[in-house]
């Protein structure tokens, strides 16, 4: 009988194979135990890091106590980078357990996911005395749109559209999926501080037979010498402002509202803008524009006693435009910055044009960014510390009989012009209770003597009546359209 090969021998009779099999089984058992222990160790580390981040913030990440609350880096003191560091700390604990623990941890996350970060979960209420998107801090992504009512669309059709839009905006701002939406565009994201704001242009009242309800404050804006207005990108029957800290969330709202307008209103123009992402700086800071200047320091603060009186139409408004109670007027301008010309100026010259230091925004009269500019301060050589045509002097309420507006803007960049210059600048939005007492007098003065004006071109313009907010079950503009 021939001798059997080693490969054909019964493994049960092979002591070497028995030892190898035992070793493999022991290794698998040890790996499983290590993975389980690693997963247990990672969880407390993650929770501890999260608690540490919340303690540093002084509040929970989604607390809505202030207009900036719930936005990472905007007012909570917790930056997106800090959150990523927190995740890294938990991840470091997981690495101790080895690769097998990572597989178990991934499965755990899928079955029981952690909540969204403060950036994604932060939300604004659609309902209230005022519409959102006015006093709220400007978000990282913005879309501005104007629509004209389609031929044959009347007051009833306009009311139905505002009802659809309001319901959709309320759902999106609450992080809910609107009825019939199967796009999945922002399926994985939270509301991300989304705001949607609606307004009416002057021509809306003619098209809906409501000219007797048109506010006097909605008179056409005067023409200014620095204007180079393109009518095709100006005005419009309906105006929509969308803002969010996530680009997909903002686009999702834009897409749904545009789809829902079909048959009732046609898009007239659209502009897209951006701001610094929350958490991009080591601490909350006033934003910068594309000229590199800190922009918005002297904006009126919601905490100021006279804020509401300057920004919102009084709640006790009576007369034909009583429907505007709690509302505001938005002046919208696309302002192109002549950046190639500006960038060729020396730093000293740039600061003289603005009246502030570029590094920290402090006025040239001294102090810090928030120091009130001393418009009377004189240098040793007898010249004004803040030049006579400096932007902050000419635009100051102190030199405009107290005229004030709340500026809430987005930067934009739409490529390059034929000469290679950037088509970039500011989507300027000014909010006030009466534009004839806010934007108009200030712009008139800027038009005559602002040193910054020679580096700007106003290329589109619009004025819109933005009604007050609505209660649950109501829609924006209902008091006008059904009053």
Considering only CA atoms, which of 124, 42, 128 is closest in space to residue 86? 42
- 267 vs 63, 130, 259, CA distance in Å? 37, 25, 10
CA atoms of 52 and 410, how far apart (whole Å): 33
CA atoms of 27 and 254, how far apart (whole Å): 55
Count of residues in the chain: 483
- Compute the half-sphere exposure of residue 369: CA atoms within 13 Å on the CB side of its CA: 15
Place of tokens 């002297």: 298
Residues 6+ apart with CB under 8 A from 91: 42
CB 458 within 8 A of CB 226: yes
- Which of 26-53 are b and which e, b meaning 16 or more Cβ less than 10 Å from the residue's Cβ? eeeeeeeeebeebbebbeebbeebbeeb
Instruction: Compute φ and ψ for 144, nearest 5 degrees.
Output: -115, 130
Burial degree of 24 (CB within 10 A; 0-12, 13-18, 19+) = exposed
Q: Indicate the SS3 state at residue 241.
A: strand
Instruction: Calculate the dihedral angle through the C-alpha atoms of 392, 397, 403, 404, rounding to the nearest 10 degrees.
Output: 70
* SS3 of 320-384: CCHHHCCCEEEEEEEEEECHHHHHCCCHHHHHHHHCECCCCCCECCCCCCCCCCCCCCECCCCCE
- CB atoms under 10 Å from CB of 5, counted, come to 7
Which residues carry out catalysis?
295
């Amino acid at each position: 009988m021939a001798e059997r090969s080693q490969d054909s021998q019964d493994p049960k009779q092979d002591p070497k194979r028995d030892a190898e099999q035992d070793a493999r089984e022991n290794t698998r058992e040890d790996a499983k135990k290590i993975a389980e222990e690693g997963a247990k160790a990672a969880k407390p580390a993650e929770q501890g890091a999260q608690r540490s981040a919340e303690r540093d913030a002084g509040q929970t990440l989604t607390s809505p106590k202030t207009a900036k609350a719930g936005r990472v880096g905007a007012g909570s003191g917790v930056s997106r980078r800090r959150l990523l560091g927190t995740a890294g700390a938990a991840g470091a604990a997981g690495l101790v357990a080895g690769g097998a623990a990572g597989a178990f941890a991934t499965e755990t996350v899928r079955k029981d996911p952690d909540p969204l970060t403060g950036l994604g979960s932060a939300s604004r209420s659609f309902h209230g005395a005022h519409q959102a998107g006015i006093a709220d801090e400007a978000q990282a992504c913005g879309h501005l749109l104007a629509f004209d009512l389609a031929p044959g669309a009347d007051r009833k059709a306009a009311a139905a559209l505002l009802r659809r839009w309001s319901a959709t905006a309320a759902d999106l701002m609450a992080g809910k999926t609107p009825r019939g939406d199967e796009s999945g565009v922002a399926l994985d994201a939270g509301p991300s501080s989304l705001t949607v704001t609606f307004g009416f242009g002057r021509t809306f009242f003619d098209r809906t037979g409501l000219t007797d309800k048109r506010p006097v404050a909605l008179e056409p804006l005067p023409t200014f010498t620095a204007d180079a207005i393109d009518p095709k990108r100006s005005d419009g029957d309906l105006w929509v402002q969308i803002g969010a800290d996530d680009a997909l969330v903002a686009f999702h709202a834009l897409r749904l509202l545009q789809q829902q307008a079909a048959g009732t209103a046609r898009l007239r123009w659209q502009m897209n803008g951006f701001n610094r992402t929350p958490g991009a700086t080591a601490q909350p800071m006033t934003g910068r524009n594309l000229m590199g200047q800190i922009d918005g320091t002297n904006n009126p603060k919601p905490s100021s006693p006279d804020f509401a009186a300057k920004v919102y139409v009084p709640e006790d408004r009576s007369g034909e435009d009583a429907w505007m109670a709690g509302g505001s007027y938005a002046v919208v301008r696309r302002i192109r910055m002549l950046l190639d010309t500006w960038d060729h100026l020396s730093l000293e010259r740039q600061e003289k044009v603005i009246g502030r230091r570029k590094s920290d925004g402090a006025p040239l009269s001294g102090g810090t960014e928030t120091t009130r500019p001393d418009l009377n301060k004189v240098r040793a050589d007898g010249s004004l510390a803040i030049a006579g045509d400096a932007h902050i002097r000419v635009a100051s309420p102190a030199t405009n009989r107290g005229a004030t507006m709340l500026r809430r803007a987005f930067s934009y960049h739409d490529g390059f012009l034929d000469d290679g210059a950037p088509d970039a600048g500011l989507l300027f939005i000014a909010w006030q209770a009466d534009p004839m007492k806010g934007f108009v007098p200030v712009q008139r003065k800027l038009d005559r003597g602002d040193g910054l004006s020679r580096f700007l071109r106003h290329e589109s313009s619009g004025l819109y009546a933005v009604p007050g907010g609505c209660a649950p079950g109501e829609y924006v503009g209902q008091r006008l359209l059904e009053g």
